[in-house]
Amino acid sequence: MAQLADIVQGFVSLLARLMMAAIFLASAIGNKIPQFAETAAYMASEGVPNPKFALFGAIGLLLIGGVSVILGAWTRFGAIFLLVFLALATFYFHDFWKFADAGQRQLQTIQFMKNLAIGGGLLSLVAFGGGPWSVDGWIDSRREEAESAPAKPRVTAKVPQG
């Protein structure tokens, strides 16, 4: 029964990582990279300082963080990268408190809350890692095997005394 639980946990954690990373990678690959100039101009209009430099940084956070989370390699760092991006994007682009129009305020509140929920999922990756079906999980299992293996006797060469 424990083996089935391990399989389910591995599958579910992999699926969760794929689902969380999808929005970030799609944003970088499908929007920010191919529409770099337009995105930088939009960022400038929203008050982002040094928008071209910030956009390079955002793309880096999205790509490195997204790939890290999908593979489960340095998962905690990848999740932190995505959290940094998410916090800044939420602050600059989903500032619902600035809108007088009720419809725009509601739309931005929904986007803000969506990002808050995604951030919660990323925090769970920071807390618990990538799970058993991840590079980090594979490394941890190899380390546990090595630590639990019986110690091999140490062979020392005898030096002739004379």
pLDDT in tens, 93-111: 999 999 999 999 999 999 9
In a domain, 157, yes or no: no
- The yes-or-no verdict on residue 92 having pLDDT over 70 is yes
Would you say how long the chain is, in residues? 162
- The yes-or-no verdict on residue 155 having pLDDT over 80 is no
- The yes-or-no verdict on residue 153 having pLDDT over 90 is no
In a domain, 79, yes or no: yes
In a domain, 84, yes or no: yes
Between the alpha carbon of residue 29 and those of residues 49, 63, 72, 109, the distances in Å are: 23, 8, 20, 26
In a domain, 100, yes or no: yes
26-70 pLDDT, tens digit each? 999 999 999 999 999 999 999 999 999 999 999 999 999 999 999
Enclosing domain of residue 108: 2-131
Q: Which pLDDT score is estimated for 159?
A: 66
- The yes-or-no verdict on residue 16 having pLDDT over 70 is yes
Query: What's the rounded Cα separation, in Å, for the pair 73 and 79?
Result: 10
Instruction: Output 93 or 160, whichever has higher pLDDT.
Output: 93
- The yes-or-no verdict on residue 144 having pLDDT over 70 is yes
Per-residue pLDDT band for 157 (boundaries 50, 70, 90) equals: low
Query: What's the rounded Cα separation, in Å, for the pair 7 and 4?
Result: 5
In a domain, 74, yes or no: yes
- What is the mean pLDDT of the segment spanning 14-25? 97
Crossing angle of the two packed helices 2-27 and 51-71, in degrees rounded to 10: 160
Q: Which pLDDT score is estimated for 26?
A: 98
In a domain, 8, yes or no: yes
In a domain, 17, yes or no: yes
Domain count, the chain: 1
In a domain, 106, yes or no: yes
Please check whether residue 65 is in contact with residue 79, taking contact to mean a CB–CB distance below 8 angstroms: yes
113-143 pLDDT, tens digit each? 999 999 999 999 999 999 999 999 999 989 9
